[in-house]
């Protein structure tokens, strides 16, 4: 009823109150449950941050131990998941495989379809999802490269278990490099939540129809896939590679990004809410330098990225529009140094964002939010009489 305000992209529309993540785009502040992202990235670990986001407080030692033990216990997936996986051609992008396998959990755990489950039952879905996500992610990659899958190794921590399932060739011993595992864990923390972004808003809207958590998060994975959202990390590396192959002419590519008749955008630049800097990008830029140095990797695209950033930061086009490097600008360079293939980058983002999606889904249900159903202003034809085909 009343006047409908149209706000494409919901640029000024709040959809909910939330107690999970605080973000100040002008000051470049990001906090999960009140704790700064800088502090968490330095001192915490991904599973502790997951607990914090989902349950609202830092876990006690007992809570943490129980949480990690339950997750470790549920890393194995139903053997029939392999049959689903085998149905995908090796050309399948891992993001499509990941969202399908997550949605398929509604079939293995049909009790998750009941919207009136107790909080203990919901907790079981939470544990299962966090536990199995690295398995689905690593298997989506194995399917692509045509290798047999590896089963989880529960002696490893969360990041190391994933790396082992990704990279171990079953015929050989595989030792996880702790530098690589720690860097990955830090990246997961930095991606863990970001209030009402496109994929999170999707998870909440899908869940608002009382669809299961698995189905809601599967939808979030699909929203994340697009190049304007999580898919930007893959697009950044592809862009940097193109610039490199083009002789490293950053000025030419900057001009393309500014040309309104050219659809090209500087990938990894700009953000809906950060208008000063993206605090995650700041941490990641430093981490990229550290990780490459520790691993002894020299990546020429890092220099191209730094050159582009420098040029953009003094270019009036980018300055006037307050466009700064976002989380995706440098993350791909780290993933590459860790040996993660390019089209797995957005899968890494999804693994990191999972606890945020879960926390937001849970909050939405606990707040008993109504079904998400925006309005519109109709601009189509007025009433017309149907005309039979022979008279058209």
Given the rule CB under 6 A, which residues bind ligand CMC? 9, 197, 228-230, 232, 257, 265-272, 321, 323, 326-328
Residue count of the chain, please give it.
392
Q: Residue 175 and residue 163: Cα distance in Å, rounded?
A: 10
229 part of the active site:
no
Look up residue 364 and give its two tokens: 């939405």
How many alpha carbons fall within 13 Å on the CB side of residue 364?
29
Which residue is nearest to ligand CMC, using beta carbons?
270
**CB nearer ligand CMC, residue 263 or residue 296:** 263
Q: Residue 30 and residue 190: Cα distance in Å, rounded?
A: 10
As measured in angstroms, the least distance from the Cβ of 197 to ligand CMC is 5
Pairing label, strands 35-36, 21-24: unpaired
Bin 324: left if φ > 0, else alpha if -120 < ψ < 50, else beta: beta
As measured in angstroms, the least distance from the Cβ of 156 to ligand CMC is 28
As measured in angstroms, the least distance from the Cβ of 321 to ligand CMC is 4
**CB nearer ligand CMC, residue 56 or residue 227:** 227
Q: Residue 135 and residue 98: Cα distance in Å, rounded?
A: 10
**CB nearer ligand CMC, residue 194 or residue 362:** 194
Q: If DSSP codes are grouped into helix, strand and coil, which group holds residue 364?
A: helix
**CB nearer ligand CMC, residue 14 or residue 89:** 14
Look up residue 154 and give its two tokens: 């529960």
* Element (DSSP H or E) covering residue 315: none
Is residue 172 within 8 A of residue 147, CB to CB? The reply is no
As measured in angstroms, the least distance from the Cβ of 333 to ligand CMC is 14
Pairing label, strands 29-32, 35-36: antiparallel
As measured in angstroms, the least distance from the Cβ of 229 to ligand CMC is 4
Look up residue 300 and give its two tokens: 């020429």
* Catalytic residue selected from 193, 328, 343, 391: 328
**CB nearer ligand CMC, residue 104 or residue 189:** 189
User: How many CB atoms within 10 Å of residue 259?
Assistant: 11
**Strand ordering across the sheet containing 29-32:** 21-24, 29-32, 35-36
Closest CA to 286 of 356, 186, 191: 186
**CB nearer ligand CMC, residue 271 or residue 365:** 271
* Catalytic residue selected from 7, 271, 343, 391: 271
As measured in angstroms, the least distance from the Cβ of 382 to ligand CMC is 32
Q: If DSSP codes are grouped into helix, strand and coil, which group holds residue 318?
A: helix
**CB nearer ligand CMC, residue 132 or residue 280:** 280
328 part of the active site:
yes
CA 229 to chain CA centroid, nearest Å: 8
Q: Residue 84 and residue 87: Cα distance in Å, rounded?
A: 5
Is residue 213 within 8 A of residue 122, CB to CB? The reply is yes
As measured in angstroms, the least distance from the Cβ of 141 to ligand CMC is 21
Contacts of 390 (CB under 8 A, 6+ apart): none
Catalytic residues: 271, 328
């Amino acid at each position: 009823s009343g006047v409908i305000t149209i706000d494409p992209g919901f640029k000024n529309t709040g959809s909910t109150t939330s107690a999970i993540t605080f973000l100040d785009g002008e000051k470049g502040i990001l906090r999960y449950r009140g704790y700064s992202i800088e502090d968490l990235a330095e001192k915490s670990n991904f599973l502790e941050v997951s607990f914090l986001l989902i349950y609202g407080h830092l876990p006690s030692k007992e809570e943490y131990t129980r949480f990690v033990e339950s997750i470790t216990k549920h890393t194995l997936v139903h053997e029939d998941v392999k049959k689903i996986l085998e149905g995908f051609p090796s050309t399948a992008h891992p993001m499509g495989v990941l969202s399908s396998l997550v949605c398929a959990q509604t079939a293995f755990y049909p009790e998750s379809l009941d919207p009136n489950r107790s909080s203990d039952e919901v907790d079981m879905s939470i544990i299962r999802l966090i536990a199995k996500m690295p398995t689905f992610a690593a298997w989506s990659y194995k399917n692509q490269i045509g290798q047999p899958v590896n089963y989880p190794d529960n002696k490893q921590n969360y990041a190391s278990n994933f790396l082992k399932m990704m990279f171990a060739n079953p015929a050989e011993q595989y030792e996880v490099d702790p530098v690589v595992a720690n860097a990955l864990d830090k990246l997961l923390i930095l991606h863990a939540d970001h209030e009402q972004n496109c994929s999170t808003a999707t998870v909440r809207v899908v869940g608002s129809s009382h669809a299961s958590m698995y189905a809601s998060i599967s939808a979030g994975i699909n929203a994340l896939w697009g190049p304007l959202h999580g898919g930007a990390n893959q697009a950044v590396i592809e862009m940097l590679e193109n610039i490199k192959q083009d002789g490293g002419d950053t000025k030419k590519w900057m001009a393309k990004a500014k040309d309104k008749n050219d659809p090209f955008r500087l990938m990894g630049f700009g953000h809906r809410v950060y208008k000063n800097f993206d605090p995650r990008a700041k941490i990641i830029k430093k981490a990229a330098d550290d990780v490459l140095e520790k691993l002894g990797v020299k990546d020429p695209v890092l220099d191209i990225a730094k050159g582009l950033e420098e040029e953009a930061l003094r270019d009036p086009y980018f300055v006037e529009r307050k466009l700064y490097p976002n989380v995706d600008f440098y993350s791909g360079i780290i993933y590459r140094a860790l040996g993660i293939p390019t089209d797995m980058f957005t899968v890494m983002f999804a693994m990191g964002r999972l606890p945020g999606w879960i926390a937001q889904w849970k909050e939405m249900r606990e707040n008993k939010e109504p079904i998400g159903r925006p309005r519109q202003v109709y601009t189509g034809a007025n009433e017309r009489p149907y005309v039979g085909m022979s008279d058209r």
